[in-house]
Amino acid sequence: AQSVTQLGSHVSVSEGALVLLRCNYSSSVPPYLFWYVQYPNQGLQLLLKYTTGATLVKGINGFEAEFKKSETSFHLTKPSAHMSDAAEYFCAVSRGSQGNLIFGKGTKLSVKP
């Protein structure tokens, strides 16, 4: 069965510092992987996705993620944090053939001035 683990429910960085949010998955088939961002009291917005092909995926707002099959990981990074990056981030993996997703529990990112 597929599952997603996000390490760290809260991550705090200083403005300008590297952002690293960790996601490990479990899947018996080649996975599709996603990162979504959620601002307070809003819906989720897709940041980036990996389906097939290049393992380094670039998304919106300067974020990128690398699919590492050997490590079953899909960590999200951004070289330089901005105050506007403060939000909750969710990693998701595809489940089954009907197009469903399984979400991790989320990581709340705080950015200090």
Partner 1 sequence: DGGITQSPKYLFRKEGQNVTLSCEQNLNHDAMYWYRQDPGQGLRLIYYSQIVNDFQKGDIAEGYSVSREKKESFPLTVTSAQKNPTAFYLCASKTQASSYEQYFGPGTRLTVT
Contacting residues toward partner 1, per CB under 8 A: 9, 32, 34, 36, 41-46, 49, 51, 90, 94, 97-101, 103-106
User: How far apart are CB 50 and partner 1 at their closest, in Å?
Assistant: 11
Please give the Cα distance from 85 to 83 (Å, whole number).
Answer: 5
Please give the Cα distance from 8 to 107 (Å, whole number).
Answer: 6
User: How far apart are CB 57 and partner 1 at their closest, in Å?
Assistant: 13
Of 36 and 74, CB closest to partner 1 = 36
3-class DSSP assignment, residue 42: coil
User: How far apart are CB 13 and partner 1 at their closest, in Å?
Assistant: 20
Give every strand in the sheet of 19-26, ordered side by side: 3-7, 19-26, 73-78, 64-68, 56-58
Of 16 and 105, CB closest to partner 1 = 105
